[in-house]
Structure 1
C-alpha cells in the first residue's frame, strides 16, 4: 500500500482578544513557545477579522471591552461556521454566577480570573492546543485516506478501461484479419464467449432468405447445465422457434431487444420442441441489430446464464456490436466485389468467345471468295450472305455493350410518344422469330387487348420484349415451347413470357437481372450471349416507370418473366404513316467520302457507285477541304477520328464555305455517345451514324434528302417496310 507524508504546521495559533496592551504582554509571555504562537488583537471587530484569515486552536477573550464586549464577540464567533466549535476562554477580573452562566451559554469552555496564574493558564490552554493538533492530524489522515481511495479507484478504473480497450483492440484485430463472411461470423462468436455472454448466435438474412444459424458458441456455464442422463447433448443445442420470432422483432424495431421472461425457451433441443425441460435456462437474452440493409440483415444474440459483474459492461457490448457490424459489412462487400470481379472476368471471356464466333465464318467466307473462280456468282452470293449475317451479329453485340455503358452513366434518352402495345409486341416477335426457327421451337402469342397505349420509346420497348423472347429461346432446348401473352390491369400493360426450358437455380434467382449474371455454362457455350440482355430489359423498363419480375420453380422447370408498364386504353387507333422510299436516283449527285481507313473508304465508294452516285474519296481533313472546294459535293460522309483535322473541324469549315453551305453532312463514326452526337450537331453535321452503318439505310437517307431538295427521282418510290 502506498504511504503519504503527513505535513503538520509547526506552530499552533492562539488568539488573544483584550483592550489592554499590558494584558497582551502577560499572556504572550505565558503562552508563547516553540509549538505555539500568540496572535493579539485589541477589539472584538479585529478578532472577527483575524478568524477570517487564520485558524486558531483556542481564543482567550476579555469580557469587558469597549464598543463590543466579550459576550457580543463570542456570539458573533459562534455564528461563524469555522469558529462555531473553537474553544473560547473568558478572561475577566470579576465574574459572578449570572455572568458565568451567560458566558457558558455562549459556548465558553472556561473562565480565568485576572490577574492570571501562569501555570493554570498554560495548563488549560495546552489541553485545547493538544486537542486541536489531534483533530488536525485526524483530518489530514482522513484526507490522505480519501486521496488513497480515490487513487485506488482511479487505478482500478484505469485497469478496467485498459482491459476493455485491450479486449476491443483484440476484437478489431481479429475481425479485420479475414474478409470471408463465414470466418468473420465465427470470429464474432468466438470473441464474444465468454467475455460478453455464455452463449452467442447470429441470425442472418441474405436476399430475403434466412441462413440457418449453424454457427453457435457456448461457454462453461452452458456446459454445466447439460444433463447427459436426460439425453441432452451439448453439440445438439440449436435455436428454437422463439429465437426466430425475437430476431424478427429486433429487425422490425431497429433496436436491441432484451428477453427475460421467456429466456428459458429460446435455445434447446429441436427434437423436444419448445418444452421447458428440453431447453437451456438463461436468465437473460439480448438481441442486438448488426445489419439492417435491404439485401442483408443480421442480429447477434447473447445469452447469459447468470447476470453478474464478471461480464463486460454495456458500453463495451455496444462497441463490440458496432465493430462486429463493420467487420461483417466489410466481409459482405468484399464478397460482392469478388463476385463482381469473377462475373467481369467471365463476361470478358464470353465477350471474346462471342466475338470470335462470327469472326470465324467471316474469315472462312473470305478464304472461299479468294479461292473461288472469277465470276462464280453462286459462291459470291453465299459468301456475302455469310459475312452479312455474322456482321449483323457483331453489331448487335456492340450495340448491347453501348447500351450498358449508357445505362451505367445514366445517359439513356427516351423518345416518348404514344405507342400501341400490339405494335411493340409484333416488332419484338418479328425480331426474335429467326431464333425460334433456328432452334425448331414452338411459339404462341395471345394478345387480349387491342387498344392498350403506352407513353414510351417504341424502339426501347421493342428491345425489352425482344430481349425476353431471345432469352427464353436461348435457354429452351430445340423442340421446346415459348409463349407470350399481353393484358391490361390496374392501369398497367402486362407482358408475360413463359418457357419450358432450363429454368433458373433458386440461388441465381435474386441476381438474374444483375449485370453479367449467368448460371453455370458448359464450355461449349451452346446458349451464347453476354449475360446483359436481362439487365438492359430491367433498366429500360424502369426508365419507363415500369417493373419486371421473374419466377422459376428450379432447374429444368422453365421460367416466367412479367413486365408491367404504365398504360391506358385508347378508343381510337393511330393511323400508320408509310415512309416513302425512292427506287432510283440521279447519277449526277456527287458524294465526298472522308475516312482514314482505306478499306472502309473504298468499300463505301464501290457501294455508292453501284447505286448511281458519283463518289470521290480522301483520307484526312486537310485534303478533304481542298477536294471539297474542287469537287463541290452535294453529300459529304465524314469520319470523326481523322488525322490532322477531326471530323468536327472539317464540318465547321465546310459550313463556313458559301459554295458548300447546302451540302448534306453525315458523320459515320465509332464514337456514338450522346456527347458525340451533341458535338456533331454543334459542328453543323446533319446526321450521326454509328460504325458499321447500315449501308442500305445510308442510301435511303441520302435519297430522301435529295428528293426533298428537288434534285428529283424518276419515281417517288414505294412505301418502306417497318
Structure 2
C-alpha cells in the first residue's frame, strides 16, 4: 500500500514577533535553514494577520511590545482555531514568576531569556518543529487511510450495484423468455428464492374463480427448520389462514405490507388435530401487490427466516416486484389474446358450418328440381318451401352479423317510445315458442301483476328477450323446463329467464356475453346459431340504459339470465314433405342418410330416391347404428356434427361390424378443414364431401361403389 511521504526537506514556517529589527536578524540567523523558514513581524497586529495567511510550527513572541504586548497577542492567537494549539515561546529580557505564570496560563510552552543562547534556542525550537512534522505526517496518513477506506467503500458499493444489476438483468431475461402464465409464475418464485427471501408465495385472484390460487416455493433455510424426521412435512408446507387475511389486505390497499410480529403463523401445515397447525417461524414476511386489475389481482409474499447479507436489499426487492408485475401482466395479456384468437377461429369455423347447413338442402332441392319433369307442381311446391325456409335461416344469420357490426360501430338507431313490457314479452314468446315445441320443453311465463311501461324500441327489446329464450331452449335438453318471469322494484323492470339445462362453467361466466366466446366447441352443433345472441342482448340492453347478468351453479345445473330496464307502472309441428314419385321405379342401392338437419335429410332422401335408390334416414348416431343393423346399407352418408355421438364414432362402429364391412362411408359435413379430413380417414370414412355437396358427384360415387360391392339388384345383401 503506497503511503504519503512527508519528507524532512519539506519546509516548515516559524513566526517571530518582536518590535526590534535587530532581534529579527538574530533569530533568523539562528533558526533559518534548508528545512525551516522564519517569518518576522514587528507587532501583535501583524502577527494576527500572518497566522491567517499561513500555518506555523512554532511562534516566538516578545513580551514587551508597544500597543499590543505579548500577552495580549498570545490571548488573541489562542482564540483563533488555526493557532489554538500552536506552541508559543515567549522571548523576554526579564522574567519574574508572576509574568511567567501569566504566560503559561495563556498557553505558552516555554520562556527564553534575551539575549538568546543560539544552541538552547535552536534545540527547543527543533523539538516543536519535529512534533509539528510528526503531527502533519499523522494527519496525512489518516487522510490517506480515509481516502483508501472511501475508495474501498465505493468499490464495494459498485460491486454490489453491479451484482444487483446483474441479478435484475437475469430476472428480466428469464421472465421475458416465456409468455405462459404458469411458467412465468414458476420463474418468479424460482428467482426470488433464496436471492430475496427464504420462502415466496404468489396469491392470485381471477375473475370467475370461486377461490384464490396460491403457489409456494421454499428454500433450504425453511426446510432446515423442520424436524428431519418429518420429511413429508417439507412437501406440504402451505399458506395458513393468516396468510390469506394479510394477502387480502394487501390487495384491497394496493400497498406493500410487512409483518414482523406474528409472522410465525403465516406458513405451515395442518396436523392430525383439526384445531392445531404447525407453523414455520419467520423473522418477517412482506406482502407486495403484483396485479390490481378488475379481472385479476395478485400479491407476492416474501418470508425471511433471518435477514443477512445473502438477501438482496429492499430497493432490489421493490424493483424485482415491479419487473415481476410487468412480466405477469404481459403473460395474462398474451393468454387473453391467444384465447381471443382461438375463439375467433372457432367462430369462423362455426360460421362456415352454419352457412353450409342451409346451403345443403337448397342445393339438394335444386338438384331435385333439375331431375324432375318440368311443371311438376308437387316438386316445385316442396322445393320452393325448402329453399324459402333455408334462405330465411341464412338471412337471420347475416342479420345477426350485421347487428353486431352496427352495434360495435355505434350505428344502431333506436326508435324509442313508451310501450308496455307485456307487448315485448308476448312477441318474444311467440318467436321462441316453436323452439320449445320442437324440443318438447315445458315453458311457463309469470308476468308482473302491474302493467310496466318501458321507454324503448319494441323490435330491439323483443330481440333481447327472444335471444335469451332461444338460448335457454338451445342448451336445455328435450323435456326440460324454461321459465320467464317479470317483476318491478324501485323504478326498474326485472326480466328473468331460467332453465334447468346444461348450465355454464364458472370460468366461462365472466365471458359469456363476449363476442366469439363459446362454452362448447364440440362437433355437436345440433342447436345451431352463431353464439352471438348473448352479445347482441347485452349491447341492446345497455343501449336502453339497462343491464344484463348471468348466473349458473355450474355444468348441468341450469342458468339464469336477468335483464334490468328503467320502467314505470302504467296508470291504468314442421310441414309434411310432399310425396314425390321417383324418376326410376327400380331401387338400385340401399343408402342410409344420417344428419341432424331434417331439411337436409329429407331433401337428400328425395334426390336419391329420384335416382332409384332405397333410402332410410336417421337424425342421430345411436338411431343410425340401430337402423343400420336392420337396413344393412350399402352406402352411408354421414354428417359429422351429430348430437351425442358424432359421425366419426358412428363410422368406427360401422367399420367394426362384419355385416357392414362392404358399406361405403361418405362424410357430408360443414366441417372441411384438413384436420377434419384426416379424422375422417382415421375413422374409416371413404370420402369426405363439404356441404353443400355436388350431388352429381355423390351419385357417381354410389354408382362406382356398386360393382365393387357386388350388389346390383334389389334385395341383394339383405339379411334373411
TM-score if structure 1 supplies the norm length?
0.75
Q: What does residue 512 of structure 1 align with?
A: 512
Q: Spell out, residue by residue over 1:177-221, the C-alpha distance to the aligned partner (whole angstroms, 9 max, x if none).
A: 111111111111111111111111111111152666563211112
* Residue matched to 2:488: 488
Correspondence for 1:95: 95
The Cα of 1:401 is off from its aligned counterpart by 1.7
With over 3 angstroms needed to count, the CA separation of the structure-2 counterparts of 1:241 and 1:86, relative to structure 1, is: same
Kindly provide the CA deviation profile for residues 359-406 of structure 1, in whole angstroms up to 9, marking residues without a partner as x. Answer: 222333333444444433443333333332222222222222222223
**Counterpart for residue 202 of structure 2:** 202
Q: For 1:423-462, what per-residue CA distance to the aligned partner results, in whole angstroms no more than 9, with x for missing partners?
A: 1111212222333343343333221234101112222211
Name the CA distance, whole Å, in 2 between partners of 1:38 and 1:18: 13
C-alpha displacement of 1:273? 5.6
Displacement of 1:352 in angstroms is 1.1
* Equivalent pair of 2:428/2:465 in contact (CA under 8 Å): yes
Contact map agreement 1:265 1:274 (CA 8 A) in 2: no
Is contact 2:239–2:266 with CA below 8 Å preserved after alignment?
yes
Do the aligned partners of residues 15 and 340 (structure 1) sit closer, same or farther apart at CA in structure 2, a change above 3 Å counting? same
What CA distance in whole angstroms lies between the structure 1 residues aligned with 2:251 and 2:295?
13
More displaced stretch, 468-477 vs 127-136: 468-477
C-alpha contact (below 8 Å) 1:16/1:41 kept by paired residues: yes
* Contact 1:175-1:188 within 8 A present in 2 as well: yes
Residue aligned with 1:81, SS: coil
* CA shift for structure 1 position 407: 3.0
The whole-number CA distance in structure 2 between the counterparts of 1:228 and 1:119 is 84
What's the counterpart of residue 631 of structure 2? none
TM-score by length of 2: 0.76
1:434 match: 434
Residues 272, 459 of structure 1: CA spacing in aligned structure 2 closer, same or farther, 3 A cutoff? same
SS across alignment from 1:453: strand
Aligned alpha-carbon RMSD (Å): 2.2
Question: 1:114: how far off?
Answer: 2.0
1:85 Cα deviation from its structure 2 partner? 1.0
Partner deviation per Cα, 1:619-638 (whole Å, 9 max, x = no partner):
xxxxxxxxxxxxxxxxxxxx
Once the two structures are TM-superposed, the CA of residue 133 in structure 1 deviates from its matched residue by 0.3
Q: Do the aligned partners of 2:494 and 2:564 also contact (CA within 8 Å) in 1?
A: yes
Structure 1 residues 421, 203: closer, same or farther in 2, change over 3 A? Answer: same
Distance in 1 between residues matched to 2:508 and 2:62, nearest whole Å = 105
8 Å Cα contact 1:204-1:211 kept in structure 2: no
Q: For 1:577-588, what aligned pairs fall within 5 Å after superposition?
A: none
Structure 1 residue 502 corresponds to structure 2 residue 502 = yes
Structure 2: distance between partners of 1:119 and 1:319: 73
The answer to whether the 8 A contact 2:365-2:386 is kept is yes
Residue 72 of structure 1, CA deviation: 1.9
In structure 2, distance between residues paired with 1:337 and 1:546: 29
- Distance of 1:273 and 1:410 partners within structure 2: 62
- Is residue 2:141 matched to residue 1:141? yes
Residue 467 of structure 1 corresponds to 467
Classify the secondary structure of the residue corresponding to 2:196. Answer: coil
Relative distance call for 1:347 and 1:78 in structure 2 (3 A) is same
Alignment match, 1:363: 363
2:415, 2:457 within 8 Å by CA — same for their partners in 1?
yes
The secondary structure found in structure 1 opposite 2:476 is coil
Once the two structures are superposed, the pairs formed by residues 155-166 of structure 1 within 5 Å of their partners are 155-166=155-166
Q: In 2 relative to 1, CA 288–276 (structure 1 residues): closer, same or farther, beyond 3 Å?
A: farther
Residues 110/231 of structure 1: CA separation in 2 closer, same or farther (3 Å cut): closer
1:686-706 deviation per Cα after TM superposition (whole angstroms, max 9, x unaligned): xxxxxxxxxxxxxxxxxxxxx
3-state DSSP class of the match of 2:75? helix
**Residue 5 (str. 1) matches residue 4 (str. 2):** yes
Go from structure 1 to structure 2 and tell me whether the alpha carbon gap of 1:273 and 1:461 turns closer, same or farther (over 3 Å shift): farther
Q: Tell me the equivalent position of 2:550.
A: 550
> Which residue is equivalent to 1:181?
181
Answer yes or no: is the 8 Å Cα contact 1:204–1:210 preserved in 2.
no
In the TM superposition, what is the alpha-carbon distance from 1:75 to its structure 2 partner? 1.6
Separation (CA, whole Å) in 2 of partners of 1:150 and 1:275 = 57
2:339 corresponding residue in structure 1 = 339
- Classify 1:486/1:210 alpha carbon distance in 2 versus 1 (closer, same or farther; 3 Å): closer
C-alpha distance 104-557 of structure 1, shift in aligned 2 (>3 A): closer
Secondary structure of 1:236's counterpart equals: coil
The one-character-per-residue Cα deviations of 1:119-152 (angstroms, maximum 9, x if unpaired) are 1111111011001001111111111111111111
Contact 2:270/2:277 (8 A) holds in 1? no
Matched residues in 2 for 1:422 and 1:213: separation? 46
Matches within 5 A, 1:378-417: 378-417=378-417
Q: Please tell me whether the aligned partners of residues 344 and 516 of structure 1 are also in contact (alpha carbons under 8 angstroms).
A: yes
Q: What residue in structure 2 maps to residue 307 of structure 1?
A: 307
Distance in structure 1 (CA, Å) of the matches to 2:349 and 2:5: 85
Q: Distance in 2 between matches of 1:49 and 1:59?
A: 13
State how 1:619-634 maps to structure 2 within 5 Å.
Answer: none
| C-alpha separation in 2, matches of 1:313 and 1:391 | 71
Aligned to 1:596: none
- Alignment map for 1:93-132 (pairs within 5 Å): 93-132=93-132
> Following the alignment from structure 2 to structure 1, what is the Cα–Cα distance between the partners of residues 367 and 54?
119
CA contact (8 A) 1:265 1:276 kept: no
Q: Does 1:287 align with 2:287?
A: yes
Deviations for 1:276-303, whole angstroms, at most 9, x for unmatched residues? 6722222322222211211111121222
Question: What CA distance in whole angstroms lies between the structure 2 residues aligned with 1:273 and 1:261?
Answer: 25
Rounded to whole Å, the distance in 1 between the matches of 2:258 and 2:389 is 68
Q: How far apart, CA to CA, are the structure 1 residues paired with 2:158 and 2:210?
A: 43
- Give the equivalent residue in structure 2 for 1:62: 62
Contact 1:268 1:274 in 2 (8 A): no
Per the alignment, residue 664 of structure 1 pairs with: none
Query: Structure 1 residues 51 and 465 mapped into 2: Cα distance closer, same or farther (>3 Å)?
Result: same
SS at match of 1:29: helix
How many angstroms apart in 2 are the aligned matches of 1:213 and 1:401? 38
Distance 2:33 2:274 in 1: 87
Any conservation in 2 of the 1:453–1:570 contact (CA below 8 Å)? yes
Change (3 A) 1:409 1:357: same
Provide the residue aligned with 1:32 in structure 2.
32
User: Contact conserved, 1:449 with 1:488, CA < 8 A, in 2?
Assistant: no
Matched with 1:714 is: none
Residues 56/490 of structure 1: CA separation in 2 closer, same or farther (3 Å cut): same
Q: Which residue of 1 aligns with 2:266?
A: 266
Deviations 1:306-342 (A, max 9, x none): 2334321111111111111111111111111110010
> How far, CA to CA, are the matches of 1:166 and 1:274 in structure 2?
46
Aligned to 2:246: 246
- The separation in 2 between residues aligned to 1:454 and 1:66, in whole angstroms, is 114
Q: Distance in 1 between matches of 2:306 and 2:561?
A: 54
C-alpha distance after superposition, 1:7-39 (max 9, x if no partner) = 567100111122222222211111111110111
Cα separation, partners in 2 of 1:516 and 1:105, compared to 1, 3 Å = same
Following TM superposition, by how much is the alpha carbon of 1:563 offset from its aligned partner in structure 2, in angstroms? Answer: 1.1
Q: Greater RCO between the two (CA within 8 Å, min separation 6)?
A: 2
Show the counterpart of 2:46: 46
- The alpha-carbon distance between structure 1 residues 48 and 417, as it changes in their structure 2 partners (threshold 3 A), is same
Looking at structure 1, the residues matched to 560 and 249 of structure 2 have their Cα atoms a distance apart, in angstroms, of 34
Task: Compare 187-196 and 470-479 and name the one that shifted more.
Answer: 470-479
Answer yes or no: is the 8 Å Cα contact 2:3–2:141 preserved in 1. no
For structure 1, the residue ranges without an aligned partner over 5 or more in a row are 573-722
Question: What is the rounded CA distance, in whole Å, between the counterparts of 1:273 and 1:213 in structure 2?
Answer: 25
Matching of residues 586-665 of structure 1 within 5 Å: none
Question: Whole-Å Cα distance in 2 between the matches of residues 400 and 556 of structure 1?
Answer: 28
| Contact 2:208/2:507, CA 8 A, preserved across alignment | no
**Whole-Å Cα distance in 1 between the matches of residues 210 and 321 of structure 2?**
20
Distance 1:275 1:304, change over 3 A: farther
Unaligned runs of 5+ in 2: 573-720
